[in-house]
């Protein structure tokens, strides 16, 4: 999931604290949950709102008229095609992408908690603007501000978590962050279902404004939270860092971990050219994965469902209520599927999940495409009986389940567990940026694509699913249970990537000119990299 998997697998160094539930750890969990919820709520809320009549009538009257006008046998696929309507959804992700670059510097220079506060506050303003919106401009500016908030939160929360959590809890928190995102999506679907029933036509305002709740928790939490020992060290406060580590761990006996933190900080500070490093031939496998995996994750088409499920179900002929309820059902399936992946990912490995998930998604997409083609045809005229529409809903659920235990969590986990320290920050930035960029593209293009490609759109995504499944089969080695510092061996043994890895890299470590020795690499994987560790990185990695 969201989190990078440095911690979920590989060897986690045991500093002998056990799993101590200090107040800090508790707060950390809370921040983790709110950070994920904020992102998930945003992913899930827009689709339901844009399917509400009152909202459409107020802000997008032409779409509303098109939707209501059955008289001219309007093409079903094109009912919701409006660039303005899609920009309401997509603007958030482009803002998040741009903001994350600024957030990266803020997180490093001013610390993680300042970044979280900034993110929470900007997000709050966005939620208020959206809830109070009277025109499209207010809506869009609000969405952009939410995006800035998400950019900051996704940058700083995962870093904060990975640095605060004791090693033994880090894996759980890591996947818990992704789980929180799916719960956020589900919460948004439920809220939409409820607010749609509000008489008086202001339900959409409640939906949009409720985004403020997790944001307030995160902002207030961040005000009271201390900064992480890693961040204090990075900014030169060595004494304070040690005291903080003692408080966080609930014991004075932290020397060994503190020493590791210092080494990891020093090593990461010596990494001068992460961007140049990652271009070296020996990092070609990691660079390829940092681009291909997030790109393919978005090309599964999942966000078509996450963003537009209610709109899609309306297109299929479901009533408003049934559409929103169907979105709740897919949201629930998404949560359950993610939980399943937590229990299977380290047992069966990444490849099995990727391959099985790919095949399952492919079958569903093909069947959905065929059914839509038969019922609406190329002209997009027709209707669907309840039985057929229910079958489409079931197929969508089976598809979402497959995504939720494969490309959903693994799309974040795998890229983040394959970068050695010297390219970690650059690699994770690429991963996150590519993901956000294609999330934006899908959000912006879907409704138009549905209008023009019609049922063929499902075949289009199915084609990519075939491509990505073949790609995984041939090019992704199994990384389950492989400590990070051993990862170069995995690539070296691979039939294709082996050619890119010089033999000298295999002896013992992944040392390179950046000064990351095997020991620093190992300590960073067992604690967290002080340059803004990426262990829990749905969002951002590079502090």
DSSP state for residue 513 in the 8-state scheme:
T
Per CB under 6 A, does 301 bind ligand BGC?
Answer: no
Closest to ligand BGC by CB, 337 vs 514, is 337
d(CA 304, CA 22): 41
Closest to ligand BGC by CB, 43 vs 127, is 43
Per CB under 6 A, does 334 bind ligand BGC?
Answer: yes
Per CB under 6 A, does 306 bind ligand BGC?
Answer: yes
CB of 62 to ligand BGC, least distance (A): 28
CB of 234 to ligand BGC, least distance (A): 28
Asked if 535 and 3 count as a contact pair (C-beta separation under 8 A), the reply is yes
d(CA 366, CA 21): 48
- Count CB-CB contacts under 10 A for residue 443: 27
CB of 172 to ligand BGC, least distance (A): 18
Closest to ligand BGC by CB, 179 vs 264, is 179
Angle between helical axes of 302-315 and 23-50 (0-180°, round to 10): 40
DSSP state for residue 226 in the 8-state scheme:
P
Closest to ligand BGC by CB, 35 vs 408, is 408
Stretch that binds ligand BGC, among 17-25, 152-160, 267-275, 297-305 (CB under 6 A): 297-305
Stretch that binds ligand BGC, among 18-26, 119-127, 301-309, 487-495 (CB under 6 A): 301-309
Asked if 189 and 328 count as a contact pair (C-beta separation under 8 A), the reply is yes
Asked if 162 and 154 count as a contact pair (C-beta separation under 8 A), the reply is no
Furthest-apart CA atoms within the chain: distance in Å? 76
Closest to ligand BGC by CB, 44 vs 226, is 44
Per CB under 6 A, does 153 bind ligand BGC?
Answer: no
CB of 408 to ligand BGC, least distance (A): 4
At 495, phi and psi to the nearest 5? -60, -35
d(CA 155, CA 532): 9
Stretch that binds ligand BGC, among 24-32, 302-310, 391-399, 461-469 (CB under 6 A): 302-310
What's 202-262 look like in SS3? CHHHHHHHCCHHHHHHHHHHHHHCCCCHHHHHHCCCHHHHHHHHHHHHCCCCCHHHHHHHH
Stretch that binds ligand BGC, among 127-135, 365-373, 406-414, 488-496 (CB under 6 A): 406-414
DSSP state for residue 495 in the 8-state scheme:
T
d(CA 458, CA 50): 22
Q: Which of 209, 218, 302, 396 binds ligand BGC (CB under 6 A)?
A: 302
Per CB under 6 A, does 406 bind ligand BGC?
Answer: no
CB of 404 to ligand BGC, least distance (A): 6
d(CA 120, CA 174): 21
Q: Which of 86, 156, 189, 439 binds ligand BGC (CB under 6 A)?
A: 439
CB of 123 to ligand BGC, least distance (A): 18
Per CB under 6 A, does 330 bind ligand BGC?
Answer: no
CB of 187 to ligand BGC, least distance (A): 13
Stretch that binds ligand BGC, among 27-35, 158-166, 404-412, 475-483 (CB under 6 A): 404-412
CB of 505 to ligand BGC, least distance (A): 31
Q: Is the dihedral of CA 466, 411, 291, 140 positive or negative?
A: positive
The site for ligand BGC, by CB under 6 A, has a size of 13
d(CA 471, CA 289): 10
Q: What angle do CA 34, 417, 156 make, to 5 degrees?
A: 30
Stretch that binds ligand BGC, among 130-138, 152-160, 221-229, 405-413 (CB under 6 A): 405-413
Give the per-residue contact string, 348-387, with ligand BGC (x = CB under 6 A; - = no): ----------------------------------------
Per CB under 6 A, does 182 bind ligand BGC?
Answer: yes
Closest by CA position to 358, among listed 474, 263, 220: 474
Closest to ligand BGC by CB, 50 vs 265, is 50
Q: CA distances (Å), 345 to each of 55, 340, 350, 353, 483, in order?
A: 41, 9, 6, 7, 15
Per CB under 6 A, does 100 bind ligand BGC?
Answer: no
Stretch that binds ligand BGC, among 144-152, 155-163, 299-307, 313-321 (CB under 6 A): 299-307
Closest to ligand BGC by CB, 32 vs 264, is 32
Per CB under 6 A, does 303 bind ligand BGC?
Answer: yes
d(CA 184, CA 182): 5
CB of 183 to ligand BGC, least distance (A): 10
Helices of type H across 300-455: 302-315, 320-348, 350-376, 386-405, 407-417, 421-453
Render the burial of 471-487: b for 16+ CB within 10 Å, e for the rest: bbeeebbebbebbbbbb
Per CB under 6 A, does 408 bind ligand BGC?
Answer: yes
Residues 27-86 that bind ligand BGC (CB under 6 A): 43
Asked if 180 and 35 count as a contact pair (C-beta separation under 8 A), the reply is yes
At 65, phi and psi to the nearest 5? -65, -45
Closest to ligand BGC by CB, 33 vs 302, is 302
Closest to ligand BGC by CB, 15 vs 177, is 177
At 276, phi and psi to the nearest 5? -70, -40
Asked if 84 and 447 count as a contact pair (C-beta separation under 8 A), the reply is no
Task: Write out the residues near ligand BGC by the rule CB under 6 A.
Answer: 43, 182, 185, 297, 302-303, 306, 334, 408, 411-412, 435, 439
């Amino acid at each position: 999931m969201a989190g990078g998997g440095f911690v979920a697998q590989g060897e986690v160094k045991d500093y002998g604290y056990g799993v101590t539930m200090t107040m800090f750890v508790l707060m950390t969990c809370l921040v983790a949950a709110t950070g994920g919820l904020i992102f998930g709520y945003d992913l899930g809320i827009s689709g339901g709102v844009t399917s509400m009549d009152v909202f459409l009538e107020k802000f997008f009257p032409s779409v509303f008229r098109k939707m209501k006008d059955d008289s001219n046998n309007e093409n079903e696929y094109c009912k919701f095609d409006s660039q303005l309507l899609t920009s309401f959804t997509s603007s958030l992700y482009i803002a998040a992408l741009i903001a994350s670059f600024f957030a990266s510097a803020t997180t490093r220079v001013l610390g993680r908690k300042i970044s979280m506060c900034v993110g929470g506050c900007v997000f709050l303003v966005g939620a208020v603007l959206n809830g109070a919106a009277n025109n499209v401009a207010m809506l869009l500016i609000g969405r952009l501000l939410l995006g800035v908030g998400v950019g900051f939160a996704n940058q700083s929360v995962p870093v904060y978590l990975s640095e605060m959590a004791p090693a033994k809890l880090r894996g759980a928190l890591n996947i818990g962050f992704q789980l929180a995102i799916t719960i956020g999506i589900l919460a948004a679907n439920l809220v939409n279902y409820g607010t749609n029933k509000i008489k008086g036509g202001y339900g959409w305002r409640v939906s949009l404004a409720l985004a403020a709740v997790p944001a307030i928790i995160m902002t207030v939490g961040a005000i009271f939270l201390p900064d992480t020992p890693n961040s204090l060290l990075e900014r030169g406060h060595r004494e304070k860092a040690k005291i903080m580590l003692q408080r966080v761990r609930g014991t004075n006996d932290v020397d060994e971990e503190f020493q590791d933190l210092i080494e990891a900080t020093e090593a990461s500070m010596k990494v001068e050219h992460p961007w140049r490093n990652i271009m070296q031939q020996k990092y070609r496998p990691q660079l390829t994965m940092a681009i291909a995996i997030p790109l393919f994750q978005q090309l599964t088409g999942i966000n078509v469902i996450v963003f537009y499920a209610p709109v899609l179900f309306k297109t299929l002929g479901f009533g408003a209520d049934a559409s929103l309820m169907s979105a709740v059902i897919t949201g629930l399936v998404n949560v359950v599927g993610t939980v399943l992946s937590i229990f299977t990912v380290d047992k069966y490995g990444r490849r099995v999940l990727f391959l099985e998930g790919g095949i399952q998604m492919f079958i569903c997409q093909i069947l959905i495409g065929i059914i839509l083609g038969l019922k609406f045809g190329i002209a997009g005229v027709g209707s669907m009986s309840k039985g057929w529409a229910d079958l489409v809903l079931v197929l969508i659920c089976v598809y979402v389940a497959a995504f939720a235990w494969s490309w959903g969590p693994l799309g974040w986990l795998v890229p983040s567990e394959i970068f050695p320290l010297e390219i970690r920050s650059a690699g994770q930035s690429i991963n996150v940026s590519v993901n956000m960029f294609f999330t934006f593209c899908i959000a912006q293009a879907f409704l138009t694509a549905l209008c023009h490609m019609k049922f063929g759109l499902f075949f289009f995504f199915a084609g990519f699913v075939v491509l990505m499944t073949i790609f995984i089969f041939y090019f992704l080695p199994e990384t389950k249970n492989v400590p990070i510092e051993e990862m170069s061996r995995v690539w070296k043994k691979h039939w294709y990537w082996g050619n890119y890895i010089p033999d000298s890299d295999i002896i013992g470590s992944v040392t390179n000119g950046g000064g990351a020795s095997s020991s620093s690499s190992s300590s960073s994987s067992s604690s967290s990299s002080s340059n803004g560790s990426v262990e829990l990185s749905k969002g951002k990695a590079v502090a």
